[in-house]
Chain A
Amino acid sequence: MECSLDDVCNRCKKEPCLVVSRKDHFCAACFKKFLCTKQRKQMQDEKFKVKFGNSRAERPRVLLPLSYGSSSLALFDMVISHLEEQCQNERAVQGYVLVVLHVGEDTARMELLRRKYSHVLEKVEVEFVTVDPAVFVRDLAKVAVTEEYAVRRTENSESLSLQELLLQFESRSSRQDFWQQAVQEVVFRSAVAQSCSVVIFGHSMSRLAEETLALTVKGRGSETAHRLTDGNMDYVGGALHVIRPLRDVLASEIKAYVRFCGLQEMVATEASVKHKSAKNKTVNELVREYFETVESEYPEVISTVVKIGTKLDSPQGAAQQCILCHEAIYRDPKTWLEQMSESANKQAQSDVPLCYGCLVDVGVGGGAVWPVRRPSKEEILAEYILDNEI
């Protein structure tokens, strides 16, 4: 939404209005403040507050995964300004140490970003890390699904790159899912390797709505609860506190924020999918487009979906862990599919547990080579040679 020329900011009543959001008129400064307040609210825990004297040692290390999308860049800017504010008090030290992580090969972009923020980075403690997603590739085995929905695990002797692993999946949608999963796994492993106890994701409200619907469509509805709820998560024997500070901010608002910060040139633009036919889009892309189309006519739909998604709980009962994505399995997919299949063979047993979502991605009668074991904390610490540049 744009403002007319003679519009004045509703907050300060001085500056010209540059953006209209939630029916309010903002100038750039007031809008940035408005969004920053939302981020601060999600990070108002005692552990993020400024520290004095000897409480310095208790400062948590906070990992910020940076994909160079608009959301994570906006979050980066907000957190940097948060730390800068904290440093204004001469006697205090910043409340937490920020570790900015990029999973990928783009080191040049990080250099650019550091140069852009060099004036602040002189004053605050921030570490920058780039990790090659190839570290994800280890402990490969072949996992196949028989026509009778039984899961077979066989050894694999080939050495395959992450690219080659992803290319095993025919549909772009499945490939994208497994790529996301690999990146997320590397993020959490990096958190362990970097001794971070907190991970903050840049996910916006729009992204969380997309996630809710997309998970449902992919047969992963039971994951909604922990993908949407902030809080502690068990990971390789420890706890990671996961927060999504932009959960109350819409994607359109983040776009405006990025513009006001002059961060557009930092955004790694994804190839547009607009021209693609529906058949070549991923589930997430279709859902995102859906929200973008209905948003104008039904503005409440995004917050409605996030609200109901956040009300969901993880199912009860003992769960097995999926060998591919490590998500909990509450109902055996084989039994579930058999109850509606004339050709079911209940005698065929599975070697390893595979969740419903992964079973569909691998495909009945299909198979794929993939890492089948999550490394232990010791292995992560020992094996992750991180490209650490402070």
Chain B
Amino acid sequence: MCERCEASKAVMRRPKNLQKLCKECFFHVFETEIHLTIEKEKLFYPGEKVAIGASGGKDSTVLASILKTLNERYNYRVHLVLLSIDEGIVGYRDDSLATVKRNQQQYEMPLEIVSYKDLYNWTMDEIVSCSGMKSSCTYCGVLRRQALDRGAMKLGINHVVTGHNADDMAETVLMNLLRGDTARLESSTNITTKSTGSPIKRSKPFKYCYQKEIVLYAHYKKLDYFSTECTYAPEAFRGTARVLMKNLESVRPSCILDIIYSGEHFKLKQRKKRPGPQKPAIQGQETEIRSDGSVSLQNDGNRCEKCGYLSTNKICKACLLLQGLESSRAKLAIAAEAVPKVEEDQLQHRLQHLSF
């Protein structure tokens, strides 16, 4: 019997607390807990336009479904839009985009697709064939983040929500420790992040949701999602951290939330100011390229020279990465009378066209 309503047959043990629940009670509990997070964190305001970063995978599909449900149930009065990035990964993205297009129908939400090819003149497949598998995560991280922001800006939306769940967040906390990433350690458990100067706010309503419960929700709701993992698997080091997390979970099932609780307490010691002449401008410039590709804006109006995207650097992180790619493509094609100059101009043109 369901331990909550004591009326229906229990179908599952809830991963979070091992409570036996019927299907309806699980839906109710899971949805309500996300509503609690949204309310507590004041994620939305009435009339706000919100873009859901939709990949067609289960996290973002469940997010779209639940936000639609909660928006109607609690009358948030937000305008939800599906925003998809087409990285250009043959076989993976084609199928998942088809899923997103079905979601558009199922949830009656507008859908916007922005492609890497449009944005950067490179598909992910081309990037990987040029730079190798090894660094694909670097590119994915920087380019995808910018792509969502650029896509949202194009739609005049200032708020992007993503399906990142508690498992993702816990993994990020561990990775930041293992990589000694001081720039991101304090903020890695924030539910909402915003790059300085960028008008785009990003939130993670599933911050406290276990991946397992998202899977169960999708399963029992019979949601239509695309279940193949990204072809470009995580780099090896992140893989080791994932194995560790799995083992830790078997010993301490609550460790995902425990890690987030810890992460919310991380605070760096104040750096002692060194005596002598200070050069704040230069110091600022040194710290502002973040490894996630976010850009901080110190003086309003600073833009990337190449694409016009917000950046304190002369050239934004995405353009910097792409520049590296262009030059290696040029090297590869040097014998074959390649035309890198033309391509670069083309890229610049396209980015300018898309930016604001």
Contacts and interface: CB of A to CB of B under 8 A. Distances in A.
A330 interface: yes
Interface in B42-98: none
Contacts of B135: none
A93 B174 CA distance: 48
Interface stretch (A60-68, A236-244, A334-342, A375-383): A334-342
Contacts of B173: 216
Contacts of B244: 286-287, 290
A342 B180 contact: no
Given A293-B240, A340-B37, A341-B33, A305 B180 contact: yes
A279 B251 contact: yes
Contacts of B255: 217-218, 283
A201 interface: no
A286 B241 CA distance: 12
Interface in B264-295: 264-270
B266 A213 contact: no
A313 B258 contact: no
Given A340-B37, A342-B28, A220 B262 contact: yes
Contacts of B176: 308
B261 A312 contact: no
B250 interface: yes
A331 B264 contact: yes
A304 interface: yes
Contact of B36 (A225, A290, A339): A339
B17 interface: yes
Interface in B246-267: 247-248, 250-252, 254-255, 257-259, 261-267
B178 interface: yes
B8 interface: no
Given A221-B266, A312-B268, A360-B254, A213 B261 contact: no
Which of A287, A312, A340 is packed against the most chain B CB atoms within 10 Å?
Answer: A340
Interface string B162-198: 0000000000011011111110010000000000000
Contact of B252 (A173, A309, A316): A173
Contacts of B180: 304-305, 307-308
A222 interface: yes
Interface string A277-310: 0110111001100100110001001001101110
Contact of B261 (A221, A290, A301, A343): A221
B222 interface: no
A212 interface: yes
B263 A286 contact: no
B267 A282 contact: no
Contacts of B4: 343
Q: Which of B180, B250, B261 has the most CB of A within 10 A?
A: B261
A219 interface: yes
A219 B264 CA distance: 10
B179 A304 contact: yes
B208 interface: yes
A166 to B, nearest CB: 17
A281 B255 CA distance: 14
Contacts of B251: 171, 173, 278-279, 281-283, 286
B36 to A, nearest CB: 6
Given A217-B259, A309-B177, A336-B261, A316 B267 contact: yes
B208 A340 contact: yes
B250 A313 contact: no
Interface residues of A, number: 50
B32 interface: yes
A43 B37 CA distance: 49
Contacts of B261: 219, 221, 331, 333, 336, 356
A333 B265 CA distance: 12
A175 to B, nearest CB: 12
A253 to B, nearest CB: 21
A152 to B, nearest CB: 19
Interface string A192-216: 0000000000000000000011011
A305 B178 contact: yes
B252 A218 contact: yes
Contact of A286 (B208, B248, B264, B269): B248
Interface string B117-154: 00000000000000000000000000000000000000
A219 B32 CA distance: 25
Contacts of B264: 331
A364 interface: yes
Interface in A301-359: 301, 304-305, 307-309, 311-316, 330-331, 333, 336, 339-343, 356-357
Contact of A339 (B37, B181, B182, B185): B37
Interface of B: 4, 17, 28-29, 32-33, 36-37, 40, 173-174, 176-182, 185, 208, 237, 240, 244, 247-248, 250-252, 254-255, 257-259, 261-270
30 contacts: A171-B251, A216-B177, A216-B259, A218-B255, A219-B257, A219-B258, A221-B263, A221-B265, A278-B247, A282-B251, A283-B248, A283-B252, A290-B240, A293-B240, A298-B237, A305-B178, A305-B180, A308-B176, A308-B180, A308-B182, A312-B266, A312-B269, A314-B267, A315-B265, A339-B37, A339-B40, A341-B33, A343-B4, A343-B29, A356-B261
Given A298-B237, A301-B178, 10 more contacts: A173-B251, A219-B257, A221-B261, A279-B251, A287-B248, A294-B237, A308-B185, A311-B269, A333-B261, A339-B208
Top 6 closest A-B pairs, CB basis?
Answer: A221-B262, A219-B258, A222-B265, A304-B180, A340-B208, A313-B269
